[in-house]
Structure 1
Amino acid sequence: MEAPTPPILLLKTKSTPNDGYDEFFAQNNYTPTFIPVLEHHFHSTNLQSIHSLLTSGAFTPGSGRKYGGLIFTSQRAVEAFASVLEELDEPTSKHTRNLNIPIYTVGPATHRTLTSLILPYLPNATIHGKDTGNGQNLAHFILRHYNSLYTSSSTSTSSSSGGGGGDDTKPPLLFLVGEQRRDIIPKTLMDDGLPATERIGVEEVVVYETGVMRGFEEEFSGRVGRERAVMRRVIEEGDGEGWVTWVVVFSPTGGEGMLRGLGLLDNSQGQGQGQGRGGNEKVGEGEGQERRFFVATIGPTTRDYLRDEFGFEADVCAEKPSPEGVGKGIEGFMREWRAKRGL
């Protein structure tokens, strides 16, 4: 009988139709299990205002224009925007089909979604920034690209380059965001240290809100209990020398529930018991037994949140926010862990 593969608990909603984390870890001798942490709610009032902007000429060159383009940094914001576009009927969609505006996005996944989304509604829009990778890089890209559309030498042809449409005035960009977001893009584009002619106005509109999934902590705690039972059985059968369980955390949201589910949080004080890498020995099968549950974070923001809020130091922080980045961090940790045990 084939030996079972160790579990890895991924605290995210499984992407469809394919999930890169599922494919990567299944191919690398783990059994991935997804436990959704976040639930999203579209902000209907603000989305209605976006609908009004699109259909009232707020993006159309001329005296009534308010914005010169759009910024997206999350899939959820794109999904929210999609709900607006899908409500455009034939008469109102005529206002959007001739819009020649730049749309900025931070990565290839969002770029792909936008590309398929805008064709029926914004066929003349252009999408930029798919290789920037993060908000800081995207902001600097926007400074170069958007400003180039409003130089004195380009205004006469800007309509053919996805920009000003012949209007010399540089309008602000509209940034569709979630309730929780970093402000690196607005700060960079509107930095007082920039020459006034290079600054780019940014207006943020919250189009979705994010919270912890109801029942997440209970579901996670139940899964941890089941994995502990499997771990005991595997160890008792003599196949568990290198058996561990990994938990991968993708955002600060749900961090408290995750630590509580692992027994790493003092319920009365809200402080982590597992301070220092690999420091908590209570996560295994009881007092005095070796720790077999480990935590990896998708990046430094989540790592720092767990450290600053709860005094918990994650075992691994991915250098790159990708399946390969998480996998590389875990592989390095496990190499050291096995070496210490002579495995």
Structure 2
Amino acid sequence: MTNQSRSPILLLKTKSSPHDGYDEFFSERNYTPTFVPVLSHNFHNENLAQIKELFESGHLNPGPERRYGGLIFTSQRAVEAFADMLAGVDHSLTASASYSLPLYTVGPATARSLTTLRNTHFPHATIHGADTGNGENLATFILDHYNSLFPFSSDPATASENKADGRKPPLLFLVGETRRDIIPRTLMGDSTPLSRRIDVEEVVVYETGVVAKFEGEFEEILAKYNNPAGMVWVVVFSPTGCDAMVRVLRRTADSKQEGEGRGVFVATIGPTTRDHLVKECGFQPDVCAAKPSPEGVGEGIVNFTKSLVG
């Protein structure tokens, strides 16, 4: 099958290595995937050094000195930053810390990256939450799962003023500088009963910006594929860069000749990005994936396309 017979789909992300699930999924389904990097990431080395010291000091090992009872990851970039730091840590130290260590994540892509890291460094750790789909669902899952590991004690000898259960260590949440607060707000908020609250400490391990040449590159690629005869799909993975994307799409729409049909359609990876586009950019995407995965995006596109002809 030639590229001319395939539908273009522009993926506003850096292509994952060595394999990218979106590339494989859409290439097998009559699309021509093109990756347009939006985000630039810089690791926060100072904060990562502090996490490294936790392993080297033994403060993540099981026992009364363990400072955190588990880790939370909600992005592949956080996993990558963590993995970069672990490259300088002796495997015996991370293996010791992995006993009774839950690793919480959201979405299959982040779970896959975390699984590779677990297999290398944390042989005794367990991964949870891969099917939760978003931060709100993950927080609800953590409340049930983590509290099951540390049953509430009403004994004043074990309870403390700051913790519902004196034996329940906080969770370490590795984040980027820009993130929603739904997880800490749910786990520690007033709406959660005191007996179920879980302390969360957020540590910024990477910073994110927009690739300087993104807007020009996106406009150039879009002009190459955009034509009145077919559909071009754009898949958006993050609120970062949405302003630049919308500017390009509006310029493209303004340049169309009268009578030309619409050719570009937009899908988002989930509700966070959709809501940002609607509220901050005044732009309504065509599809919001029910699940943040290639299959979720693909299903949304298929259902939307059927609605146009049905």
> TM-score by structure 2 length?
0.84
Q: Paired residue for 1:275?
A: none
Alignment of 1:311-330 (within 5 A): 311-330=282-301
Where does structure 1 lack aligned partners over 5 or more consecutive residues?
A: 154-166, 266-279
Shift in CA distance, 282/152, structure 1 to aligned 2, threshold 3 Å: closer
**Structure showing greater relative contact order (alpha-carbon pairs closer than 8 Å, 6 or more residues apart):** 2
290-299 or 115-124, which deviates more = 115-124
Q: CA deviation at 1:65?
A: 3.4
Is the contact made by 2:107 and 2:134 (CA closer than 8 Å) also made in structure 1? yes
1 CA distance for matches of 2:33 and 2:108? Answer: 24
Residue 208 (structure 2) aligns with: 210
Offset at residue 256 of structure 1 (A):
1.5
- Letter paired with 2:215: E
User: Is contact 1:300–1:317 with CA below 8 Å preserved after alignment?
Assistant: yes
CA distance in 2, matches of 1:97, 1:333: 47
CA distance in 2, matches of 1:57, 1:129: 26
CA contact (8 A) 1:316 1:330 kept: yes
Letter in 2 for 1:138: L
Deviations 1:95-130 (A, max 9, x none): 443222222222343333333323454333333333
1:125 alignment partner in structure 2:
125
Q: Deviations over 1:28-76 (max 9, x none)?
A: 3222211111111100110011111221232235554322221112111
Moved over 6 A (4+): none
- CA 172–15 in structure 1, closer or farther in 2 if over 3 Å, else same: same
Change (3 A) 1:245 1:194: closer
Q: How far apart, in 2, do the equivalents of 1:5 and 1:122 lie?
A: 42
Q: d(CA) in 2 for partners of 1:178 and 1:37?
A: 15
Q: SS where residue 290 of structure 1 aligns?
A: coil
1:303 deviation in Å?
2.0
Unaligned ranges ≥5, structure 2: 154-164
How much has 1:169 moved relative to structure 2? Answer: 2.1
Cα distance between partner residues in 1 of 2:299 and 2:63: 52
Partner in structure 2 of residue 199 of structure 1 = 197
Matched, 1:244 2:231: yes
**What is the 5 A alignment of 1:156-305?**
169-228=167-226, 231=227, 240=229, 243-262=230-249, 264=250, 282=254, 285-305=256-276
Work out the CA distance in 2 between the residues paired with 1:319 and 1:133: 8
1:108-123 alignment, distance < 5 Å = 108-123=108-123
Q: Compute the displacement of 1:287 (Å).
A: 3.7
TM-score, normalised on structure 1? Answer: 0.77
Identity of aligned residues (%): 60
Q: For residue 59 of structure 1, what is the amino acid of its counterpart?
A: L
For 1:152-176, what per-residue CA distance to the aligned partner results, in whole angstroms no more than 9, with x for missing partners? 79xxxxxxxxxxxxx9622111111
- Please report how far the alpha carbon of residue 136 of structure 1 lies from its aligned counterpart in structure 2 after TM superposition: 2.2
Counterpart Cα distance in 1 of 2:309 and 2:275: 27
Change (3 A) 1:261 1:168: closer
| TM-align CA RMSD | 2.7
Residue equivalent to 1:10: 11
Structure 2 residue aligned with 1:86: 87
Q: State the Cα deviation string for residues 226-261 of structure 1 (Å, max 9, x = none).
A: 224xx3xxx6xxxx3xx1222221211111111222
